[in-house]
């Protein structure tokens, strides 16, 4: 089964005026998700797809979201216990 994969680079708070090619305002991201869901897409796990355990409800299409440079762009960091924090 083919899966659409979208890559986001960095997120911005909504007080920024607009999104750019590599920076997406959170409000715009919410709008993207709502539009994709309305268009028949459902989010699936990358690991499920790689393991062949892909399931979406009838009439839905699978979608995977990824974030480029998640750690290197200081968007999140790992705690000593292995958890994530902004």
Give the model confidence (pLDDT) of 21-41 as tens digits: 888 999 999 999 999 999 999
CA distance 15 to 44: 30
Question: What CA–CA distance (Å, rounded) separates 4 from 60?
Answer: 12
Q: Is the pTM of this model over 0.95?
A: no
Segment 10-15 shows an average pLDDT of: 88
> How many residues appear in the chain?
86
Query: Whole domain around residue 10: which residue ranges?
Result: 4-85
- Domains held by the chain: number: 1
Nearest to 44 by CA among 84, 4, 85: 4
């Amino acid at each position: 089964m083919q899966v659409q994969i979208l890559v986001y680079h960095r997120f911005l708070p909504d007080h920024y005026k607009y999104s750019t090619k590599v920076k997406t305002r959170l409000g715009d991201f919410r709008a993207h998700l709502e539009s994709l869901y309305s268009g028949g897409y459902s989010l699936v796990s990358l690991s499920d797809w790689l393991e062949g355990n892909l399931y979406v409800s009838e009439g839905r299409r699978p979608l995977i979201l990824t974030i480029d440079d998640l750690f290197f762009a200081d968007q999140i960091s790992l705690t000593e216990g292995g958890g994530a924090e902004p």
